[in-house]
Every structure is written in C-alpha cells, then in structure tokens.
Homo-oligomer: A and B are copies of this chain.
Amino acid sequence: MSETVPRPTLEAVAARAGVSRATVSRVVNGSDGVREPLAERVRQAVEELGYVPNQAARSLVTKRHDAIAVIVAEPETRVFSDPFFARQLRGISKELTAHDNQLVLLLTEGRDDHARVGRYLAGGHVDGALVFSLHIDDPLPELIQRAGLPAVFGGRPDWGGGRGGVVYVDSDNRGGARDAVRHLLGLGRSRVAHITGALDQTSAVDRLDGFRDVMVGADPGLVVEGDFTAAGGERAMRELLDHCPGLDAVFAANDLTAAGALRVLREHGRRVPDDVAVVGFDDMLPIAEQTDPPLTTVRQDIEGMGRLMARLLLRDLDRDTTADAAVGGSPSSVILPTTLVRRASA
C-alpha cells in the first residue's frame, strides 16, 4: 500500500559510526561497557539513518516488548461514553509513558470478542495486562492466566476464592457506601433508598452491602437495581417514586446514576435536598459539580487507581527480570480509601 523504504540495518549503522556490529548492538540495547565518545557516535548514526532496532530480535534477548495491554471488559461504545474509563486510562497512560511502555488498548464490541482478545494476549505481543470493569463469569481472567501473562485487575474480580495470587486495585466501596448512608441518616433522613449499580460487578455488590450494613432490616422495596448509567438512574428513580413515594433520601451507586435520579426528582416536583437528599459515588468531574443542585458524593481516586495498577504490574515485571530480586517482594492487592465530598444535594 504505502511504498516500502528499505529499512536501515545494524550493519549500516556500524559502517556510518565506524564501529563493530557488536558495539552498535550494545549501545542500542542499553548495555554498559561502551565508552561515551563511541556510544555518542553510534547514537548519532542511529539518528541520522533513522535506524529502528529489530524488536522481535531484541525481545528474544530481553523477553520484554515494553508494551502493556489494557482491556476494559465493556463494549467500545461504553468505554467512550462513560468518563470513568477515560479517567482510569489517563492514570494508566501517564504511568506507562513515564516508564516508556506502550499502552495497547484492546477494544471489543462485547464479551463475544473476549476469546479473540485472549488469542492476542497469548500471541506474545505484550508483557502483561491491566483489566477493568469485569462482569461475573467473564472468561477474560482465565484467558489471561492461560496466556501466562501477569495481570493486575481494576476492581476485585469475582473469583469465588480458590485462586491465589490475584492482584487488584480497588476502592473501599463498602466503607464508602456506609459513609454515604450514615451521612444521610445524620441529616435526619429515615426513608433512605438505594439505586444499585450493575449487580454482576463486585463494586455494585460491595456498595449494596455497605448500604445494608447501615440500613439493617430496611424495606426491600427501597432498593432498586440500576446499571451505572444515567438512563438506568432515571428508570430506577421512577420505580422508587411509584412504590415508595415517602422516601426522603437516595444513595445512588455512582454519579451518572445520581444525575439521572436528580432529573426525575425535578420532573416530579421534589426539591433536592429539602424533600429528598441525594448522594452519589465517584466524584466524577465535571458531572458532580454541574448537576442541579451540585452533588454530594463519595470520592474515589480513579486516576490514582489507574496509575497504581500500572505501577504494580511494572514492578512485578521488573522483579521477574531482576536476578537479585532487590525490587521487592510479591505485589499484593491494594484497597484505596474513599472520602465524602459535601456539595448541595445532601
């Protein structure tokens, strides 16, 4: 298609710099032991000729591709419409770039494509995988294990125990939910409802558990299932107003859900927070500041989670290739704290 220009060879670089092939190879692969004036001549020849080292050959030596796969277990439309993923990817991208590793985002149309993702992962194109937004029974974790790739998960995978060594980064979803509900009770509310997230994800289950920890024995009708989207929040809020018109507070499983709930409350003439107090989860900006009224919410450090996932994976890869294991012990999962951010809605 595009006309192919002959690729400059290692030999051409050696000739240009007036050194041996071995010297060029050492400089290109970052070994020590080449004196600086010589190394500088090689670097200059590399630059002038536009030499690109043969990565396939190089990675046979280093066993590294300097590339990390990122898989969001959602259709690409969702990846681009929910700002949560953009923010997590931002953290991952910053961290990988700082370590000169390429971020390889594997997009799919849906779960049916996960087997194909598994084949790519098994094909020797990346050093490890960062995976988030897993749903129950997703085949991805097993595909990644079979590919023999190290992985870090964003959010606790739902693996019913029995599999050791899984590393994940998560927020304290259950504790954050408890804080939200306690805050509502502290405002004197007693009929507190909960719109859940997608209950095939552990983050939604954990937030529901946190709600139940505080609202022991609450009317089951006060819990309605959502799906982490604004449309789901609207639908659930309508259902709640139908069945529990006397509710005086809502804890929504994320800010998008809360934004949908706020719209429906306004439609029904309910004043927020006077009639119904609302708390979200995420502190997703600018959404949480631009709702009417601005949203009280449970903040989690989404970008920080992304950075941490990348850092844990890179550390694990360094450990594998460092003979003296000085880099540290086996990484373990991290649960990050959340904080309640007060705005006008509760």
Contacts and interface: CB of A to CB of B under 8 A. Distances in A.
Interface of A: 1-5, 7, 50, 52-56, 59, 65-67, 76-77, 80-81, 83, 86, 89-90, 93-94, 97, 100, 102-109, 113, 116-120, 122-125, 128, 141-148, 150-152, 163-167, 313, 316, 330-331
9 contacts: A1-B128, A1-B151, A2-B163, A5-B142, A56-B124, A67-B120, A76-B89, A77-B90, A80-B90
Q: Is the interface of A mostly helix, strand, loop or mixed?
A: mixed
A1 B316 CA distance: 7
Contact of A55 (B3, B52, B123, B145): B123
A3 B52 contact: no
A3 B117 contact: no
Given A50-B146, A105-B107, A109-B94, A3 B120 contact: no
Stoichiometry, as copies per complex, reads 2
A123 B102 CA distance: 12
Most B CB atoms within 10 A — which of A54, A80, A122? A80
A233 to B, nearest CB: 18
A320 to B, nearest CB: 9
Given A1-B313, A7-B148, A97-B109, A143 B104 contact: no
A119 B55 contact: yes
A222 B319 CA distance: 61
A105 B105 contact: yes
A50 B142 contact: yes
A2 B146 CA distance: 10
Contact of A123 (B3, B59, B144): B59
Given A2-B145, A53-B119, A67-B123, 12 more contacts: A1-B313, A5-B142, A5-B146, A7-B146, A52-B119, A52-B143, A55-B119, A94-B109, A102-B106, A103-B107, A104-B104, A104-B120
Contacts of A119: 52-53, 55, 66, 102
Nearest to A50: B146
B2 A150 contact: yes
A148 B4 contact: yes
